[in-house]
Amino acid sequence: MGSNSQGTSVSQSAPKKLMVGFGDSDIRYGVDTILQSIPEQRWSVAAWRGERVHVQVLVQSGKTNGGLKLRFSDLIRTGQSNISSENFRFGMVQPVMTDEYAGGCGAPLPEAKDSSLARDRIDYESGLDKLNGKLQVVWVSLDVPLGAEPGIYTGTVKVMKQKLRISLEVMDGILPPASDWSFDLDLWQHPAAVARVHDVELWSDKHFDLLRPYFRMLAEAGQKNITASIVEEPWGHQTYDDYPSLIKWIKKTDGSWQFDYSLFDKYVQFVMDAGIDKRINCYSMIPWKMVVRYYDEASGKDSSVTTPIGSEAYVATWRPMLKDFTRHLKEKGWFSITSIAMDERPLKDMQQAINMLKEIDPSWKIALAGDYHAEIEKDLFDYCLASRWDFPEEVLRARIAAGKPSTYYTCCVEQYPNNFTFSPAAEQSWIGWYAAAKGFTGYLRWAYNSWPADPLRDSRFGSWPAGDTYQVYPGPQTSVRFEKLREGIQDFEKMRILRERWTREGKKGKIEMLDSILKRFKIEALATVPAASMLKEARRDLLKIQGP
């Protein structure tokens, strides 16, 4: 077993003196990394009002007694307003077990791969660790207040007995709250996993109380979609935990269907109240196993029916459900924001599902994550392409003009860019820049929290590359991956705001310079150029063109 690290050197013996300094948030420091020289003593950063910025504090000591201590000062703008130290948040970056790409989907099981430890889980709640004689890493986030006056602010962070200096340039730009971001973020949620790891009854009051901070954290990253299951196991139980339906299907003794929406209604309203309220994506009328489970009143037992797409059983099962579901959604006032969603389903299956939905109500919205199919593009409201695909230019323009989410996704197929626990940290931010470069309106990922057995310690699961199934940890605890993904979304929003401003002001030259920066973001370039290098150069150039 080794350690997963980027951009650092490893030695057999650590210097005994205390070494303290700042580390780049784009670097995932390995658990065996040993500092051989003093890190940076000053963190200089430029940010918009409303933006969140990150840095890491590195602490290495030959001692194994005593606790790690950090204390931030207020940031001072000479003779002017201050930024309170309360805007800093920090916690240990803890390691989890990871593995390797090894071909991605269908790769060997974890025991056949090279496993290692990777720092990813950010623990804000447990306090700082005791000194352990090795390199320890603290993640630091700074939320720049919306009301901060532009200018240079300076301050310090005291680490043990040493002071490190901070210089923050607050720029004129204003980044609005995440609820107002345009970026279409869609990380699929898995509520049953939360019940299992917290050991509470599924759908109990305690379960809902525990779910709330998970949804709020996701909303604060700009999440738009509620993941709502309308059948049992829409993905054929590929996850560690069950994926139960929010709708109870009931077959009456006379053979007719009845549908209990009480849990669906409670859950959807709950997630909306937590801040995710733009869209409801319902999975799925083409599940990965074509089976519908229901309660059979005649036998008094749970039962199931196999429903091959287009078969008599399919039509007899789904037509009454969709008719009744349409009625219910309209009564709730949710029909206009709801899509029937499919994941990587074949064209012919999609065409049959589309035909049935449009016969029931031509206004039905439909979502698909998968390959590009010109034949059904116009029928799809929310269309998310696998990263190997692009929308034709004229199609993308028309979709954006019509307000249709037109996004992309990565999964276990792509080695890069990706969100595995062994992926370079910067690739998460790169994802937002690639969306801007290609004209996509956002990004989708399975999944937000489909956890394996012991997610706090081991991110490996089945034949998927480690970390593929989740982006945050039980608690909820955030991660390097999730924070860097959010960082890239912030960059996307800043570029959108700048483009809109320059368009209004007729500054074609600046728009051309922005387009020139974005042309560098090509997936194939990651084979030879690290995401961190590409981002560093792009952010430097973007900063330059923001001036007069």
pLDDT tens-digit readout, 178-236: 999 999 999 999 999 999 999 999 999 999 999 999 999 999 999 999 999 999 999 99
Give the single-character DSSP code of 174: E
Residue-wise pLDDT for 437-453, tens only, equals: 999 999 999 999 999 99
Q: Return the closest-CA partner of residue 487 out of 153, 220, 124, 135.
A: 220
Q: State the angle between helix axes of 531-545 and 426-438 in degrees (0 to 180), rounded to the nearest 10.
A: 60
List C-alpha distances in Å: 182 to 25, 178, 185, 443, 491. 25, 9, 9, 12, 12
Query: Are 2-174 and 178-250+258-288+308-487 in the same CATH fold?
Result: no
d(C-alpha 136, C-alpha 61), whole Å: 9
d(C-alpha 416, C-alpha 409), whole Å: 12
Q: What is the pLDDT of residue 1?
A: 47
Compute the residue count for the chain. 548
Q: What is the pLDDT of residue 4?
A: 61
Sheet bearing 257-260, strands edge to edge: 257-260, 248-251, 291-296, 301-306
CATH of 178-250+258-288+308-487, one of 3.20.20.10, 3.20.20.80, 1.10.10.10, 3.40.50.2020: 3.20.20.80
- The CATH superfamily of 2-174 is Immunoglobulins (2.60.40.10)
List C-alpha distances in Å: 93 to 73, 192, 417. 22, 26, 22
Pick out the chain residues at pLDDT < 50: 1, 7-12
Taking a C-beta distance cutoff of 8 angstroms, is the pair 371, 388 a contact?
Answer: no
Q: What is the pLDDT of residue 5?
A: 56
Q: What is the pLDDT of residue 14?
A: 58
3-state secondary structure of 459: coil
For the chain, domain boundaries: 2-174, 178-250+258-288+308-487
- 37 Cβ contact partners less than 8 Å away, ≥ 6 residues apart: none
**What is the separation of C-alpha 187 from the centre of its chain, rounded to a whole number of angstroms?**
5
